[in-house]
Amino acid sequence: MINASIMTFNILNILPILVLAGFGMIVLVTDVLSSRKWVNRNILAYISLIGIIIAAVLTRSSTGTTLFSFNESFVTDNYSLFFNFIFLLCAGLTILISHNYIKREDINYGEYYALILFSTIGMMLMASGADLLNIYIGLEVMSISIYILTGFKRSKLISNEASLKYFLLGAFATGFLLYGISLTYGTTGAINLKQIASFIAEKGGMSDPLMVIGMGLLIVGLGFKVASVPFHAWVPDVYEGAPTPVTAFMSVGPKAAGFAAFLRIFLTAFGSSHLEWQKIIYILAILTMTLGNVSALSQTNIKRMLAYSSIAHAGYLLIALVSANDMGVSATLFYVLAYIFMNIGAFAIIIVLSRKGDECIQINDYAGLGFKHPLLAIAMTLFMLSMAGVPPMAGFVGKFYIFSAAIKSGYIGLAIIAVINSVISVYYYLRITVIMYMKEPAREFVPLTISPLMVAAIVISVVGTLQLGIFPSKVMEIAQRSILMMR
């Protein structure tokens, strides 16, 4: 007779996730019923948005607490709540920019919104997971949803190919992550991060070679999800092939979630033996930044350029991980938030300018935009400047915090390399601005149809980029409060 006891159970902790799951299912069911007269498929976006807003309100209401539940496998602390906010914001903005796009491209299925909600659930699980099982399941829920979203234009070959590449490589990387978890479990006897940490602290570091291998495999698996360099090969192809709003979504969401898990695992579980992994991440950070920025220089396709730029940004975030101090964590939180605004904003403008059957994703397609649509050009310029790290934009402040964290931990060389990289990146970001204002239009700009939702997304992104750049202190304060409970 096996006796099982009911574990500590606090449903309030997972309420935002449950709400999102519920709304995801409502969207699915509403969609299959939408052949009836009384349901309109256009309301699905609004249903999803309502779900996201409710989840955000619930998340907000539980700030300031640190609660472990479900047998200490799920944690609600300021760190996870901050990340959950980021994911909800990201999902919300993505839905705003998708609404018109998926109607135009004839992929207006309810599954689109449901999958965005489901992958947001996965991300939230990753950020709130206090054991490796929860983090693994979150990662898979997120990834599987995004594999499908990538191939959502199923009649388009480019979308199919991107989806297949992402899927095969993603599943491959999952294998490594899982093997890493298995070896960690085998050597420490626990999958709970706190127990792993106390085991390592007792042993006085990584004595077992199996554990070192396990940790290395964890770096491979997570490194793939955040697109760090030796594992980045999928990024440009997948970003180019996926539907543009999905590209926007997956360039920020999974990356943020990957870093949430990365930081939590490596600072909580492997925190006491940070000297071992810092060397590896140090090299990865340099490679990631440099290769991302240098490859971005020669791109002619704006989606590929942003793909390489997102690799470079992952490199900057790895610096924060290397510094492994409180400032690094808060800088990561700040940077990810800033990155959401500027990146989704940039993709929003790409979507506005594209038409059915003509994606207009060559950089030269943007020639003359400054004269025809000055407002869009100004917004695009803002996002590009912010990504390049020009003050007073959000990107500058984020980079400033990250580099300071590195210097604080004594990684001055790394900070210098990062600054040089930043300077390189200015070239390709500014090139778009120059083309927009200095070149004669190469094509006709048809009258644009911008939906109110799209306007809302762009306005939110612009305001966010400026707000974080000019008045960063308030958000930074929240970010700093979100790290206290980490250890």
Partner 1 sequence: MINYLPILILFIIAVGFAVTNIGLSAILGPRRPTREKLTPYECGIEPVGTARERFSVKFYLIAMLFVVFDIEVIFLYPWAVVFKSLKLFGFIEMLTFIGIMLVCYFYIWKRGGLEWD
Partner 2 sequence: MITITHYLVLSAILFTLGVIGVLIRRNAIVIFMCVELMLNAVNLSFVAFAHYLNSMQGQLFVFFTMTVAAAEAAVGLAIIVALFRNKETVNIDDMNIMKW
Q: Which residues bind partner 2 (CB under 8 A)?
A: 133, 136-137, 140, 144, 147-148, 151, 154-158, 160-165, 167-168, 171-172, 174-175, 178-179, 181-183, 185-186, 189-191, 236-237, 240-241, 295, 298-299, 304
Which of partner 2, partner 1, none lies near 70, with the C-beta cut-off 5 to 8 A by kind?
none
State in angstroms the smallest separation of the CB of 474 from partner 2.
40
Which of partner 2, partner 1, none lies near 59, with the C-beta cut-off 5 to 8 A by kind?
none
State in angstroms the smallest separation of the CB of 35 from partner 1.
9
State in angstroms the smallest separation of the CB of 316 from partner 2.
23
Which of partner 2, partner 1, none lies near 321, with the C-beta cut-off 5 to 8 A by kind?
none
State in angstroms the smallest separation of the CB of 33 from partner 1.
7
CA 151-155-161 angle, 5° bins: 45
CA 304-309-328 angle, 5° bins: 150
The 10 Å CB-count burial string (b at 16+, else e) for 443-480 is eeeeeeeeeebbeebbebbbebbbebbeebeebbebbb
In the complex with partner 1, which residue's Cβ is closer, 29 or 420?
Answer: 29
State in angstroms the smallest separation of the CB of 134 from partner 1.
16
Which of partner 2, partner 1, none lies near 178, with the C-beta cut-off 5 to 8 A by kind?
partner 2
The 10 Å CB-count burial string (b at 16+, else e) for 374-404 is eebbebbbbbbbbbbbbeebbbbbbbbbbbe
Beta-bridge partner residues of 358: 355
Which of partner 2, partner 1, none lies near 29, with the C-beta cut-off 5 to 8 A by kind?
partner 1
In the complex with partner 1, which residue's Cβ is closer, 15 or 390?
Answer: 15
User: Residue 58: phi, psi to the nearest 5?
Assistant: -65, -40
State in angstroms the smallest separation of the CB of 21 from partner 1.
8
In the complex with partner 2, which residue's Cβ is closer, 231 or 334?
Answer: 231
Residues forming contacts to partner 1 in the complex (CB under 8 A) are 1-6, 25, 28-29, 32-33
State in angstroms the smallest separation of the CB of 279 from partner 1.
41
Which of partner 1, partner 2, none lies near 25, with the C-beta cut-off 5 to 8 A by kind?
partner 1
* Count of other CB atoms within 10 angstroms of residue 303: 21
Which of partner 1, partner 2, none lies near 151, with the C-beta cut-off 5 to 8 A by kind?
partner 2
* Count of other CB atoms within 10 angstroms of residue 22: 14
* Count of other CB atoms within 10 angstroms of residue 207: 11
In the complex with partner 1, which residue's Cβ is closer, 110 or 370?
Answer: 110
Query: How long, in residues, is the chain?
Result: 487
Q: Are 192 and 201 in contact (CB under 8 A)?
A: no
State in angstroms the smallest separation of the CB of 8 from partner 1.
13
Taken in order 355, 358, 360, 364, the sign of the CA dihedral is negative
* Count of other CB atoms within 10 angstroms of residue 349: 24
Q: Are 487 and 268 in contact (CB under 8 A)?
A: yes
Which of partner 2, partner 1, none lies near 163, with the C-beta cut-off 5 to 8 A by kind?
partner 2
